Amino acid sequence: MSSLAEDRRYIEKLYERLDAERAANEAGLVAAQRATGSSPGEMSLREAAVRSLVTRLARLRGGTDGLCFGRLDAADGTRTFVGRLGLLDEEYEPLLVDWRAPAARPFYCATAARPEGLVRRRHYVTRRRQVVAAHDDVLDAGADGVGSDAALFTALDAPRTGSMRDIVATIQAEQDEVIRLGSTGIVVIEGGPGTGKTAVALHRVAYLLYTHPQLARRGVLVVGPHPRFLEHISAVLPSLGETDVVFATPGALLPGLATTVEDNPCTARVKGSLVMVDVLAAAVRDRQAVPPADAPIAVPLDDVTVELTADIAAAAREGARATGKPHNQARPVFVEGVVDALTEQAVDRIGAGWLAPRDTPDLAAELRADAHAELRASPALRAAVDALWPELTQQRLLEELFGSSERLDAAGAVLPPADRAALLRADGAAWTVSDVPMLDEAAELLGQLPVRGRRTADAAEYAEGVLQILDGDPTDPDEHDDALLRATDVLDAEALVERHAERDDRTVAERAAADREWIYGHVVVDEAQELSEMDWRVLVRRCPTRSFTVVGDLAQRRSAAGSRSWAAAVERYAPGRWTHRLLSVCYRTPAEIMAVAAAVLAAHDPGHQAPEPVRSTGVRPWARKVGPDELAAAVAEAVHAEARNGGSVAVVTGVPLPPVEGATVLSPREVKGLEFDTVLVVEPAAMVTTGPGDLYVALTRATQRLGVLHSGPLPAGLEI
């Protein structure tokens, strides 16, 4: 067995190789960016080289801290060093094996009972580039060695810094099995508090991008419950070298809109139901109107006044709906139907009493052309069409729907009156988190508004840019004009603008975040038990391949519109193509605290079981009752006392509290997914008014110490 000094020298050489490879890639990137080739083939090769070098550099930069964290000693004497990424020597022999590679798998799953050909597994304790210590798991039953949980307990007992750390050095066997699952379909990772399900999901993304690099071309979407949670986990994937990731909350899935405002439970339940798909479709149809049968709309022309009747509008409406196009794309069909009918009416009325246009085809054609052109330019007809079939944005549709009881009654006939009343609000544009999936649904029903003027100019500009592709670089003006015409023949204006728009320097993540219709390679959904049926529709649109990692715990559900079973949530979108895995071991929350949380869960939600803690701290939770007017002072005093123990402190409260120096004050919703060394739970009885989920979450955020302050009786099951 080699000494630690020898291992340190080897790891120093790994860093030398890392630095050399990074310098070479940086030089290659500069050279690729400066390349001047302008042919389509040269440009394509340049872009591919830049993408590859940028991706590799991200991984090399992410692997700096704790580059190598382990070593495997096989029974045949071979040694394999395991780290954050793979490194090869000049002869392409492996120096360091990427933790995601098959050769590294025994590092996570070998045991003394099943050593998988190993005799020893060594763990390195590192600080930046330095190896400060090491310990061994001896897998030979006849040898002595340190227990295999030493590395894990060292990591679990470390103080929390506010950001989630990667767990590549301490992945456990049950976690590794989930991380390495194939990419087909939806994988649901269920686990109670502290089971590491979020970390497993993020490492699964890194594994999928390693084994299926094509996913990176479309990027990964990570959806979390609130901005603080996303900030908490945001460093994990970059530390693993993966940067093509978009982080978003359910209230920020539409470009240009980000809201954290929540509806009351009743309104959230109504908005989250799939019945809203029918309500929104009816709301769109309600905006496709016809004039009253007894009140046609007069449209004056130079020689005659025509009338837009209910019959004409109804026929044009049916023709537009029959196309199956979204509302805004079907509007031109409606307009054409109206104009055609009114043109014929105008021809008949112009000739009434003095000629028969139908008997003189040439005259009829001339009158028809004049009337058609005049109708096209008529402000009166434009106003009529805008009233009967308006161009709509999704914001306008919902704003006018939720701000009008008449429109809600017309579109929401499938809803009980109480549910329609729950949707009505004074400010129709006061967007909430529950509105986002409906805005997205409305965008699908409405389609894009036409973009006038700019598209033609941009298309012409881009057509200039494709001249070299078609004809080299013509200098003769006539040849130049001919080439330009051929360019705009080959590609229509819209396609040209789209190609022009793609010529930017934004990363995949930046382009994806700005595009509502972007299709992702993979989607991760954390705290997925909170998603409504309408939320799921939004996410499935963003990944039609159904490549999802879904993370949640049904026992922690707080939303009235959330999921009550995983089958109900995902089976309709991936029938027979989803896998469920349960993580049953709690790594974060010590046994003393988990016993308190488990008793609360059993009292309020006996259908769910808390996970089994893997460690004990010997520190018992405490509770103290104070008067209502003493609560704020008691919180400040407790925070001050707990601060002497070191580490992070959070106050999770069910009632409003002023800021507390030395602690982070959060609601149960805001603390979801986070962890702190010490947690003070204030007024727990206020957390169970809508169910046990909030209190269960609050009690399980601590990694070391838990205290409870209350002015009234404790909720059922909370006995300390």
Lateral strand order in the sheet of 130-138: 87-88, 94-98, 79-83, 68-74, 118-127, 130-138
pLDDT of residue 681: 98
Q: How many CB atoms lie within 10 A of CB 394?
A: 21
pLDDT of residue 149: 64
CB 346 within 8 A of CB 301: yes
Please, what is the Cα angle at 704 between 685 and 697, to 5 degrees?
35
pLDDT of 461 > 60? The answer is no
Dihedral pair phi/psi, residue 19, rounded to 5°: -65, -40
Pairing of strands 118-127, 94-98: unpaired
* Rounded Cα gap, residues 45 and 648, in angstroms: 50
pLDDT of 664 > 90? The answer is yes
Q: How many CB atoms lie within 10 A of CB 477?
A: 8
CA–CA distance from 98 to each of 2, 59, 67, 290, 637 (Å)? 22, 11, 10, 66, 48
pLDDT of 354 > 90? The answer is no
| Dihedral over alpha carbons 104, 109, 111, 116 (to 10 degrees) | -50
| Closest of 60, 49, 78 to residue 17, by C-alpha | 60
Q: How many CB atoms lie within 10 A of CB 286?
A: 14
CB 608 within 8 A of CB 555: yes
- The tokens describing 265, both together, are 């439970």
Helix axes 435-446, 533-541, angle to 10 degrees: 50
State the chain's mean pLDDT as an integer: 87
Lateral strand order in the sheet of 522-525: 245-248, 220-223, 522-525, 548-552, 186-191, 578-583
Q: Express each pLDDT in 219-241 by its tens digit.
A: 999 999 999 999 999 989 888 88
* Rounded Cα gap, residues 114 and 291, in angstroms: 79
Q: How far is CA 5 from the centre of its chain?
A: 45
Q: How many CB atoms lie within 10 A of CB 95?
A: 16
pLDDT of 499 > 50? The answer is no
Q: For the whole model, what pTM was predicted? A: 0.84
* Rounded Cα gap, residues 94 and 75, in angstroms: 19
* Rounded Cα gap, residues 420 and 162, in angstroms: 42
Task: Flag the least confident range among 55-59, 267-271, 586-590.
Answer: 55-59
Q: How many CB atoms lie within 10 A of CB 407?
A: 19
CB 98 within 8 A of CB 83: yes
> Between these two residues, 246 and 30, which has the higher pLDDT value?
246
pLDDT of residue 457: 44
Question: Which helix (H) or strand (E) covers residue 496, if one does?
Answer: helix 493-502
**How many percent of the chain have pLDDT more than 70?**
87
Question: Which helix (H) or strand (E) covers residue 120, if one does?
Answer: strand 118-127
pLDDT of residue 452: 56
Task: Flag the least confident range among 141-150, 194-203, 260-269, 539-548.
Answer: 141-150
pLDDT of residue 693: 86
pLDDT of residue 496: 44
Sign of CA dihedral 470, 474, 479, 484: positive
Helix axes 327-351, 361-376, angle to 10 degrees: 130
pLDDT of residue 465: 46
pLDDT of residue 516: 96
Band of residue 44 on the pLDDT scale cut at 50, 70, 90: confident
Q: What is the mean pLDDT of residues 536-552?
A: 96
**How many percent of the chain have pLDDT more than 90?**
68
Long-range contacts of 468-473 (CB under 8 A, 24+ apart): 468/38, 468/39, 469/39, 469/40
* Rounded Cα gap, residues 149 and 156, in angstroms: 10
Band of residue 504 on the pLDDT scale cut at 50, 70, 90: low
Q: Express each pLDDT in 60-87 by its tens digit.
A: 887 778 899 999 999 999 999 999 999 9
CA–CA distance from 421 to each of 319, 413, 562 (Å)? 34, 12, 21
Q: Express each pLDDT in 100-125 by its tens digit.
A: 999 999 999 988 888 999 999 999 98
* Rounded Cα gap, residues 616 and 606, in angstroms: 24
Band of residue 507 on the pLDDT scale cut at 50, 70, 90: confident
Dihedral pair phi/psi, residue 415, rounded to 5°: -100, 145
pLDDT of residue 170: 85
Sign of CA dihedral 47, 21, 77, 107: negative
Q: Express each pLDDT in 696-710 by its tens digit.
A: 999 999 999 999 999
Band of residue 501 on the pLDDT scale cut at 50, 70, 90: very low
Q: What is the mean pLDDT of residues 519-538?
A: 96
CB 118 within 8 A of CB 72: yes
